[in-house]
Amino acid sequence: MSDFANDRMVPIRRVAELTGLHRTTIYRLIKKGKFPPPYKVGERASRWPENVIREWVRGRPQGTFEIGHGPVA
């Protein structure tokens, strides 16, 4: 369980660093319902709670994520 005061909102650049995924792959996974959607914080700005991304990474089965344009088995 996380403490709301410690929940940091991070941009796509940080999400890509935390997940090891390219931003295009992240948005593709969001569209498929396989990745947490962002919060819109402005007309052209989106942010994710860092703890949600870390939980997603911890819960992702090894060897089942997508890199670039295709899935890796």
Task: Note the pTM of the prediction, 2 decimals.
Answer: 0.75
Per-residue pLDDT 10s for the chain (73 aa) are 445 556 899 999 999 999 999 999 999 999 999 999 999 999 999 999 999 999 999 998 765 555 554 444 3
- Provide the CA 67 distance to its chain's centre, in angstroms: 13
Rounded CA separation 26/31 (Å): 9
Ordered structural domains, the chain, with CATH: 4-71 (1.10.1660)
